[in-house]
Structure 1
């Protein structure tokens, strides 16, 4: 008989997270963990997949899984439709949260901060690097809007293909990049008996401070 949800549990034993091994700036640590996840996680897990949480005008939270497309001193970059539900939510409330979970490493990272749109040229550059089918899809899909059926979406794609037969396929103005500028980053390492390690970084007056949180 399969275990009930209440009975399902896993004991985390792969490693620990100590202050003396953690840098004062969280970005190098994130980059190290991401690289280790890229080397460790296997299909169907994508190391750069993340849960993005936003809040709408009524204060209701919304979440979805996206792919991280860049990390720099400026922040964490992802792309999407500005007119989609998440785009409208970010327009109304630019605060958002990201969560990365790498089960093979028994690690999680939470990131919170304000989100701004990327410079249009950066969005152009990334759009031009995407596969042709993905670029066509960005034009064809009225993301988050109601469709009558799958055939309606396929008809929109066919129309888009015909439209761009004899003209360049440039980035649509309703599609582009975002950058989450971190003000809080928490690193979680699973430990035995649910006594997990949590190191919490907060940005204050341009400087990062670090604390240990109870699991």
Structure 2
């Protein structure tokens, strides 16, 4: 393989200054998210992909998950509640999220605390998923060992027989072990790549234990060195 140390990209498409920052972290996130989407899939393949880091008794764990909602409360994701990530949140609700929009030379880093979303929100979202994804949520004992991929295929086939695709959102019920987490942020950092590694880092920090993302008075703004 090549020497990773020899690979360099010199950023410098944009400059992020305080005067250009939206008044709230929600407005700034929505602006950058929309621009990542507008850049196209060839540049930013999945704008809603984010790295979720958790910690449990064995240490830190990170994985890529998908953002399924964002509002004044925070950032929402869904998962199997028996998974490693869910167990980690149960051990310690402090988590971090990173959106790596490298095609537009940007990152958004979030620090906060995760809490389970109300069950009615989980059921509403689950009903909106494609039929195959709903079957998959039942078929997979997420994070548990499995002897072969065919085991999951066979389990999914059995579930499709149990709950045929009728075209109704009610054809596959929400698993009791499946749910969502809301990450209530206390810090949201907007990172813009610049030339010579002199990157811009503007950070919204909650003035209390956590703030509503759409309330400017709940946040202070500062710049950090790259």
TM-score (norm 1): 0.94
**Partner in structure 2 of residue 55 of structure 1:** 55
Q: Deviations over 1:167-211 (max 9, x none)?
A: 831101101111100100111000011000000111012520111
**Partner in structure 1 of residue 124 of structure 2:** 125
- Tell me how far apart the structure 2 counterparts of residues 131 and 24 of structure 1 sit (CA, whole Å): 36
**Partner in structure 2 of residue 14 of structure 1:** 13
Alignment of 1:78-97 (within 5 A): 78-97=77-96
- Tell me how far apart the structure 2 counterparts of residues 204 and 130 of structure 1 sit (CA, whole Å): 37
Whether contact under 8 Å (1:24, 1:209) holds in the other structure is no
Q: Deviations over 1:48-68 (max 9, x none)?
A: 11111000124x110100110
Residue 214 in structure 1 maps to residue 213 in structure 2 = no
- Tell me how far apart the structure 2 counterparts of residues 9 and 39 of structure 1 sit (CA, whole Å): 26
Whether contact under 8 Å (1:24, 1:208) holds in the other structure is no
- Tell me how far apart the structure 1 counterparts of residues 28 and 85 of structure 2 sit (CA, whole Å): 28
Q: Deviations over 1:131-177 (max 9, x none)?
A: 10000000111111111111211121122122224983110110111
Q: Deviations over 1:23-57 (max 9, x none)?
A: 33211000000000001042472011111100012
CA shift, 1:3, in A, is: 5.2
**Partner in structure 1 of residue 140 of structure 2:** 141
Aligned length: 213
Q: Deviations over 1:58-116 (max 9, x none)?
A: 4x110100110111001001111000111111111111100001122110000010001
- Tell me how far apart the structure 1 counterparts of residues 69 and 193 of structure 2 sit (CA, whole Å): 26
- Tell me how far apart the structure 1 counterparts of residues 199 and 223 of structure 2 sit (CA, whole Å): 11
- Tell me how far apart the structure 2 counterparts of residues 149 and 5 of structure 1 sit (CA, whole Å): 33
Q: Determine helix, strand or coil for the equivalent of 1:124.
A: helix
- Tell me how far apart the structure 2 counterparts of residues 35 and 9 of structure 1 sit (CA, whole Å): 27
Residue 172 in structure 1 maps to residue 175 in structure 2 = yes
> Which ranges of 4 or more aligned residues in structure 1 deviate by more than 3 Å?
165-168
**Partner in structure 2 of residue 108 of structure 1:** 107
CA shift, 1:129, in A, is: 0.6
- Tell me how far apart the structure 2 counterparts of residues 61 and 41 of structure 1 sit (CA, whole Å): 33
**Partner in structure 1 of residue 215 of structure 2:** none
**Partner in structure 2 of residue 182 of structure 1:** 185
Query: 5+ unaligned residues in a row in structure 1: which ranges?
Result: none
TM-score (norm 2): 0.90
